[in-house]
């Protein structure tokens, strides 16, 4: 069974996709709970994270792992330590972890490194922290904008992939859209002035998004636990499987990307087990 949900190339014709390739595995919205075995909306979120990592790492050995927020649902140093321990069972390479609205910065930072950037072959993976402790809404900080601008003007032949938690665009779901990066349109517009910016990837929406703004690929990724129904008008849980995204970054600046879902997972949604 081919459980691939999307495969696209941006920045270059697919026939031209060649040369040195760096592979990044994106996982997002893991929502780990205070104790192993606890469930959220019926889903054992640690178990589904293991299912995602197990399947993904059987497909490729990535050069880096990207986690785009809501790593913890019950944020504490113990939960972030459990996240790193679970990941380490499958992958021990470089990792960039960005906070989401369910994360708390102090306990997260006590375990995980600051989400500034990862330097990969020919690429910079730039983390942008749009979270605010105890607030669902996105915040685009002037310091992050300044850092992105600096990276754009000093890229010197490297390609840039930006990673954040909140979507920079509207997705057609008002209950999700109200917490997007409100300045996302302006952000994408000035980023598009730089040919080195190839993509922006996010989480939060618990669904696959593959679109573009001018030459920039705009990519949202399914959660490693439960999903939201695309274009739903109110909070609505989907029955699609936990997922993840492969990002194959070519040294010619093109991105080949593929969202995949775990196969044969016993997903059981129970709305009485609240979010
Ligand atoms: Fe989330």
Task: For residue 200, give both structure tokens.
Answer: 């922006």
Strand ranges for 71-215 from DSSP E? 95-97, 117-120, 123-127, 159-163, 197-202, 209-213
Between the CA of 118 and the centroid of ligand 1 the distance, in Å, is 23
Q: Check pLDDT > 50 for residue 12.
A: no
Q: What is the dihedral of CA 69, 71, 72, 76, to 10 degrees?
A: -100
Cα Rg for the chain, rounded, in angstroms?
A: 17
Res 1: pLDDT: 35
Residue 31 CA to ligand 1 center (angstroms) comes to 7
Distance 145 CA to ligand 1 centre (A): 23
Question: Ligand 1 centre from 262 Cα, in Å?
Answer: 18
Helix orientation angle between 184-191 and 142-153, rounded to the nearest 10 degrees: 10
**Token output for 192:** 């598009």
CA–CA separation, 270 vs 108, rounded Å? 28
The 10s digit of each residue's pLDDT in 115-164 is 789 999 999 999 999 999 999 999 999 999 999 999 999 998 999 999 99
CA of 242 to the centre of ligand 1 (A): 12
Task: Give the 3-state secondary structure of residue 272.
Answer: coil
Those residues whose C-beta lies under 8 Å from the C-beta of residue 13, and which sit 6 or more positions away, are none
Residue 19, Cα to own-chain centre: how many angstroms? Answer: 25
Does an H or E element contain 155, and which?
Answer: none
pLDDT (tens digit, 9 = 90+) per residue, 185-238? 999 999 999 999 999 999 999 999 999 999 999 999 999 999 999 999 999 999
CA of 29 to the centre of ligand 1 (A): 4
Q: Which residue has the tokens 């459990």?
A: 82
Ligand 1 centre distance from Cα of residue 205 (Å): 7
pLDDT of amino acid 5: 55
Q: Is the dihedral of CA 115, 220, 166, 105 positive or negative?
A: negative
Cα–ligand 1 centroid distance for 6 (angstroms): 21
Digit-coded pLDDT (tens) for 75-130: 999 999 999 999 999 999 999 999 999 999 999 999 998 878 999 999 999 999 99
- 122 Cα to the center of ligand 1, angstroms: 30
Give the model's confidence band at 10: pLDDT under 50 very low, under 70 low, under 90 confident, else very high.
low
**Ligand 1 centroid to residue 192 C-alpha, Å:** 27
Return the CATH architecture of domain 21-261: 4-Layer Sandwich (3.60)
CA distances 22 to 120, 210, 220, 256, Å, are 7, 20, 19, 10
User: For helices 45-59 and 77-88, what crossing angle results, to 10°?
Assistant: 30
18/229 Cα distance (integer angstroms): 35
Ligand 1 mean position to 28 CA, how many Å? Answer: 8
Residues forming a β-bridge with 228: 237
**Cα of 13 from ligand 1 centre, angstroms:** 33
181 CA to centre of ligand 1 in angstroms:
15
Give the start-to-end residue ranges of the domains of the chain. Answer: 21-261
How far apart are the CA of 251 and the centre of ligand 1, in A? Answer: 32
Distance 275 CA to ligand 1 centre (A): 10
End-to-end alpha carbon distance in the chain: 32
Question: Which whole number is the average pLDDT over 242-255?
Answer: 97
State in Å: Cα 206 to ligand 1 middle: 6
DSSP state for residue 149 in the 8-state scheme: H
Question: 155-165 as b/e, with b when 16 or more CB fall inside 10 Å?
Answer: beebbbbbbbb
């Amino acid at each position: 069974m081919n459980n691939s949900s999307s495969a696209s190339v941006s920045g270059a014709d697919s026939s031209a996709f060649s040369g040195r390739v760096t592979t990044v595995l994106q996982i997002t919205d893991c929502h780990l709970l205070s104790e192993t075995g606890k469930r959220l909306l019926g889903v054992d979120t640690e178990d589904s994270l293991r299912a995602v990592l197990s399947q993904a790492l059987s497909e490729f050995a990535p050069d880096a792992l990207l986690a785009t927020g809501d790593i913890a649902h019950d944020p504490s140093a113990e939960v972030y330590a459990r996240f790193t321990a679970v990941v380490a069972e499958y992958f021990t390479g470089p990792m960039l972890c960005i906070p989401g609205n369910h994360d708390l910065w102090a306990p997260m930072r006590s375990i995980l490194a600051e989400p500034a950037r990862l330097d990969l072959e020919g690429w910079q993976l730039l983390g942008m922290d749009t979270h605010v402790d105890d607030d669902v809404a996105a915040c685009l900080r002037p310091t992050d904008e300044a850092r992105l601008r600096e990276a754009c003007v000093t890229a010197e032949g490297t390609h840039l992939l930006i990673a954040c938690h909140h979507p920079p665009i509207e997705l057609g779901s008002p209950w999700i859209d109200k917490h997007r990066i409100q300045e996302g349109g302006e952000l994408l517009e000035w980023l598009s002035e730089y040919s080195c910016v190839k993509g922006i990837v996010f989480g939060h929406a618990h669904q696959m998004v593959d679109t573009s703004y001018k030459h920039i690929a705009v990519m949202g990724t399914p959660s490693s636990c439960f999903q939201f129904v695309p274009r739903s008008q109110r909070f609505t849980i989907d029955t699609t499987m936990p997922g993840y995204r492969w990002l194959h970054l070519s040294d010619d600046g093109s991105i080949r990307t593929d969202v995949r879902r775990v196969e044969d997972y016993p997903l059981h949604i129970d709305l009485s087990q609240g979010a």
